[in-house]
Amino acid sequence: MLFPFRVWAIELNNLLSPTVLLYDPDKEEIMYEKGSDNVVNIASLTKIMTTIVAIENISNLDDKVLITDSMLAEIPSDASVAGLKVGDEVSYLDLLYASILPSGADATTALAHSIAGSTEGFVNLMNEKAQSLGLENTHFANVTGYDIDNHHSTAKEVLKILLYSLDNDLFNKIYRTKEYTLSNGLVVKTTLDYYNPGGMYDLSKIVGSKTGYTDDAGLCMSSIINFEGKELILITLGAKRDLISPDNIDDALSVISYLNQNYKNVVLFEKDATFLELPVKYSNINTYEVKASEDITYFTDDYDDTSIKYHFDGVDSLSFKNKKGDKIGTINITYQGETFSQDVYLDSDIKMSLAKYLFTGPICIIIYSALVILLILGIFALRKRKHHHKHVLAQ
């Protein structure tokens, strides 16, 4: 699987992390990058790969997993955990949430043992997935991300893993969840809460995230930032650990502040606004309004409404023959060299007007033609009769 990356050039000079990548998934463009090809440890961002590989190898999310001593014995004493205990029985779905939200090493280890029989066997699955995604600088040596030789990736390749994972509906849902209650009653919360005690930061624009930290990797973070309905992905690696103000959080807030000051998500065409009117034949309605079903937007720092071009590619007219749900065309809006398209479907049946069909439709021509022919035949018959009558009188 290949991911094409085009690059913008924006200025973000005050970011603290040595590795930064800001990505626009709609345009498939990198808005900003710094050190994004550097091969580094990625700490608990590893659990993104752990979780998606687990999802793809679980046949029943409701199946129960018994937490054993051998599972928990592998976990380093300083690793982040969800709080699972020996003897707990939880579902696979519980373990997936517990892996991402609190970054639970106990959950990822339990997944590895229950799916592959061992951590080593599961790591092999992770590396096979990395190879299938074409990741040349990514290699995993454990399922949690703690510091160990031959465990590394890059910001660009973490982005590729995340994009692949977010394409899975379940992963996408888990990644965006802030709090979840496991089937054993244990409540797990996003690690953003750990970095935001008392809610001192406004992190409301971060709608999905996975954080990580080790001494070698530093503070790491992947996140989805929602800016005026536009979603961007931010990856930061290697930030210093500041107990007063975490650099990974500071960088996310700096990006959000920059977007607020410089960018806007412009609505090129509004939902339910009339794009054009199509003539309707043989019906009580004369025209049908073609409308956008959703806002058509463009994310920019330089908006010029005179550069917008509109075009409808579809039918020229409608009639009772068109049925509800029929695709009648495509709205195309071109701005700054990019075209945004939205298919249009008929939202209701068109009722036929018998009177209009009879007097303006193709049958009308047949009827008029028949009447003309009858009239001609009648005139001809009448003349013939008169001629015959005169001939009789002459005799």
94-117 pLDDT per residue, tens: 999 999 999 999 999 999 999 999
275-331 pLDDT per residue, tens: 999 998 888 888 999 999 999 888 888 888 888 999 999 999 998 889 999 999 999
Rounded Cα–Cα distance for residues 85 and 94 (Å) = 14
For 214-219, the CB contacts below 8 A with 24+ separation are: 214/41, 214/43, 214/145, 214/146, 214/147, 215/147, 216/41, 216/147, 217/40, 217/41, 217/42, 217/43, 217/145, 217/147, 218/17, 218/43, 219/17, 219/246, 219/247, 219/248
Indicate the pairing of strand 6-7 with strand 29-34: parallel
Model pLDDT, residue 371: 67
Model pLDDT, residue 359: 61
Model pLDDT, residue 366: 61
Model pLDDT, residue 367: 62
Model pLDDT, residue 2: 44
pLDDT beneath 70: ranges in the chain: 1-11, 243, 354-372, 381, 384-395
